[in-house]
Amino acid sequence: NFPTCPYPNPEIKEALALGLEYAKNTSADILIATDPDCDRVGIAVKNKDGDFSLLTGNEVGFLLLDFIASMRIKHGTMPADPVFVKTIVTSDLAEKIADHYGIRTINVLTGFKYIGEQIGLLEKKGKEDCYLLGFEESYGYLSGSYVRDKDAVDGVFMIAEMFAYYRAQGISLLDKLDEIYATYGHFVSTLESFAFEGQEGFVKMSKIMDEYRETMVVEGKKVVEKKDYSIGIDGLPKSNVIKFTFEDGSTMVVRPSGTEPKLKIYRCTLQK
């Protein structure tokens, strides 16, 4: 029972309501919040209107990846084969940032355990220092190879360091985010969940997935690439996930939830 919010998840604005009120009353510039078990972290940043803008999990990830990469280069600490790990439902804009800095991106299935698995594989090769950052769109971040799951303690530290560095230069995180969008394209990420209860719902959800597998036009947009992870591709285990890429670079990923009777649709849409 959490009497101050409907659900203690830093992904939703309602969970940050009391924190936002306190931040406004104390003239704070940033609000950082974790969930009760401290694995997810969300932030809100003061904007030019004096209000607070909530950043998505993808947006915080973009900022952290760009910051870590630029600082590694600045201080001459970039490893010979730098690695960034993300889930397949996380925005591909992150991979564009990694490419810009010469960082190799490893895409894994949904779930931070798969990011941790990649750290273990690097460790077996004696290359754990090559791992720079892993993140997923659901507000999970991890730097370094000591922990093998999303860790909000580490996430808060990274965000605070990044915020302090830019603030000392008079740069807002929102300004930095606009700079990233101007460089790589402004992709807006959204997640929709549709409930399908009971056996009848399961059958309907399965039918929808089958229909997606057969089509090359989705919501009126032509598909230029379709990845069906159920057959085992890109070196990943088989998983009931389909990813569409459209002509403008926008993407859509569809998958049934692994914990709830829901169909999840992740959209990453290019804003003109």
Model pLDDT for residues 120-170, shown as the tens digit of each residue: 999 999 999 999 999 999 999 999 999 999 999 999 999 999 999 999 999
4 within domain boundaries: no
Mean pLDDT of 215-220: 93
Q: How many CB atoms lie within 10 A of CB 85?
A: 26
Are residues 41 and 73 both part of a single domain? no
pLDDT above 80: residue 272: no
Residues 77, 132: Cα–Cα separation, whole Å: 11
How big is the CA angle at 59 (ends 56 and 62), to the nearest 5 degrees?
A: 155
Left if phi > 0, otherwise alpha if psi is -120 to 50, otherwise beta: which for 144?
left
Query: Which CATH number goes with the domain that contains 172?
Result: 3.40.120.10
pLDDT above 90: residue 174: yes
- Counting residues of the chain whose pLDDT is more than 90, the rounded percentage is 93
Are residues 82 and 102 both part of a single domain? yes
Residues 219, 213: Cα–Cα separation, whole Å: 14
Are residues 84 and 19 both part of a single domain? no
pLDDT above 90: residue 5: no
168 within domain boundaries: yes
Are residues 81 and 145 both part of a single domain? yes
Model pLDDT for residues 13-51, shown as the tens digit of each residue: 999 999 999 999 999 999 999 999 999 999 999 999 999
Residues 100, 185: Cα–Cα separation, whole Å: 13
Q: Can you give the pLDDT at residue 66?
A: 98
pLDDT above 90: residue 222: yes
147 within domain boundaries: yes
Domain edge (last residue) among 5, 25, 54: 54
Q: Can you give the pLDDT at residue 84?
A: 98
Top pLDDT among 97 and 8 is at 97
Q: Can you give the pLDDT at residue 271?
A: 87
The number of folded domains in the chain is 3
Are residues 170 and 152 both part of a single domain? yes
Are residues 228 and 129 both part of a single domain? no
Mean pLDDT of 218-229: 95
How big is the CA angle at 148 (ends 60 and 158), to the nearest 5 degrees?
A: 30
94 within domain boundaries: yes
Mean pLDDT of 90-119: 97
Are residues 168 and 191 both part of a single domain? no
Q: Which residues of 110-138 are buried (b: 16+ CB within 10 A; e: fewer)?
A: bbbebbbebbeebeeeebbbbbbbbbbbb
pLDDT above 90: residue 259: no
Are residues 152 and 225 both part of a single domain? no
80 within domain boundaries: yes
In the chain, at which residue ranges do the beta strands (DSSP E only) sit? 30-34, 41-46, 52-54, 83-87, 104-108, 131-136, 140-142, 187-195, 217-218, 221-228, 242-246, 251-256, 262-270
Are residues 26 and 99 both part of a single domain? no
In 129-213, at which residue ranges do the beta strands (DSSP E only) sit? 131-136, 140-142, 187-195
Give, as one character, the DSSP assignment of residue 185: -
pLDDT-based confidence at residue 7 (cuts at 50, 70, 90) = confident
pLDDT-based confidence at residue 198 (cuts at 50, 70, 90) = very high
254 within domain boundaries: yes
Average model confidence (pLDDT) across the chain: 95
Domain edge (last residue) among 184, 207, 223: 184
Are residues 220 and 264 both part of a single domain? yes
End-to-end alpha-carbon separation of the chain, Å?
Answer: 43
Quote the pTM value.
0.95
Domain edge (last residue) among 161, 184, 207: 184
Are residues 140 and 248 both part of a single domain? no
Give, as one character, the DSSP assignment of residue 51: S
**Domain containing 94: what range?**
57-184
8 within domain boundaries: no
145 within domain boundaries: yes
Q: Can you give the pLDDT at residue 4?
A: 86
Are residues 228 and 265 both part of a single domain? yes
Query: Which CATH number goes with the domain that contains 252?
Result: 3.30.310.50
Widest CA span in the chain: 58
Q: How many CB atoms lie within 10 A of CB 55?
A: 20
